[in-house]
Amino acid sequence: SAVLGRGKMIAFDCHRCVLRDTRARSVVVGGGRNIVAHDHRCVLRDTRARSVVVGGKDHCRPRPPPEPAGGRRNRLVGVVRADGRSDDALREVRITRGYQDWPAGSVLVEFGRTRVLCAASVTEGVPKWRAGSGLGWVTAEYAMLPSATHTRSDRESVKGRIGGRTHEISRLIGRSLRACIDLAALGENTIVIDCDVVQADGGTRTAAITGGYVALADAVTYLRAAGRLNDPQPLSCSVSAVSVGVVDGRVRLDLPYAEDSRAEVDMNVVATDGGTLVEVQGTGEGATFARSTLDRMLDVALAGCAELSRRQAEALAAPYPGTLPGGGK
């Protein structure tokens, strides 16, 4: 830099120059650097500095903490997430019934960019080990399309075996859906919920449970119309699920992949519309977490499940989307 007189100076940085009156405290000249001018003097400092000394005085230049990539600030709730949500907000949820023509219940459920197709097929009779008991059976199968993720994955049928993760999630979905149905009222009928991930962006198992319940409810409506139930009301409650985690030290609801992949704590919560818990799966990813954190996560997750239950009820308030036995709707 050089003082030109009459209160002016020329400042050079990164092959650029700025002419500025020295009464100005600073001027950004690019490259993450500032020229700070005072009393015909200038100091070149990196903008990461909290303060600079010019002319014997300390001139503070406080800077806000860095925001997450793609994020913005909100004075009420602090840092807003990359997709614009507050910490306790769900992603945009859509439940589309009647997505396929042939199953008794068919639902496309969307949690943000995660999309799962849930189809409920009904079969008369039960597995051999349950035959003659008078009880029905509800089970689930989970799978991902090869193109559901950023990088194509091989079909498990081609590999010749079902992976451990797939087994685990299939069992979780089945257990969760059996929690809301009276198997004696179902009679000796089997309902299989096929959950196929069309696109994955975190929370595929929780989306599958949430959409799977709606497909199950439609399958029950189908069986009722066919006169195949021992009791016309086998469903005792609704079931939904959501993920919750600790990311950057903050409890956050319904994690997309970008948050889930770097979460300090990751948890999946399955609950009924009455607020009771069906299943909780939680893990500290490389670190422990406090009981108070667990309580906060459960509070946030149960509030999320309550909202999902309302969305399920809204979707099921519409008439059955297909043709019922006997030609009814």
Assign 33 a pLDDT band (cuts: 50, 70, 90): very low
CATH 3.30.230.70 domain span(s) along the chain: 88-316
Q: Structurally, what CATH architecture does the domain formed by 88-316 represent?
A: 2-Layer Sandwich (3.30)
Please state the pTM of the whole predicted model. 0.75
Q: Cβ contacts of residue 64 below 8 Å, gap of 6+?
A: 73
What pLDDT is recorded for position 12?
42
Task: Tell me the average pLDDT across 8-25.
Answer: 42
Instruction: Give buried/exposed letters for 92-107 (b at 16+ CB in 10 A, else e).
Output: ebebbbbbeeebbbbb
Find out whether 216 and 138 touch, Cβ atoms under 8 Å: yes
Task: Tell me the average pLDDT across 195-220.
Answer: 98
What pLDDT is recorded for position 153?
85
Beta pairing partners, 252: 245
What pLDDT is recorded for position 79?
62
pLDDT above 70 as % of the chain? 75
Lowest mean pLDDT among 34-38, 100-104, 158-162: 34-38
Task: Tell me the average pLDDT across 95-116.
Answer: 98
Q: Give tens-digit pLDDT for 274-285.
A: 999 999 999 998
Task: Tell me the average pLDDT across 129-148.
Answer: 95
Assign 68 a pLDDT band (cuts: 50, 70, 90): very low
What pLDDT is recorded for position 329?
60
What average pLDDT does the structure give for the chain?
Answer: 82
**CA 215, CA 124: separation in Å to the nearest integer?**
18
The two tokens of residue 60 are 């503070």
Question: Which has more pLDDT, 47 or 187?
Answer: 187
Task: Tell me the average pLDDT across 259-268.
Answer: 96
What pLDDT is recorded for position 31?
44
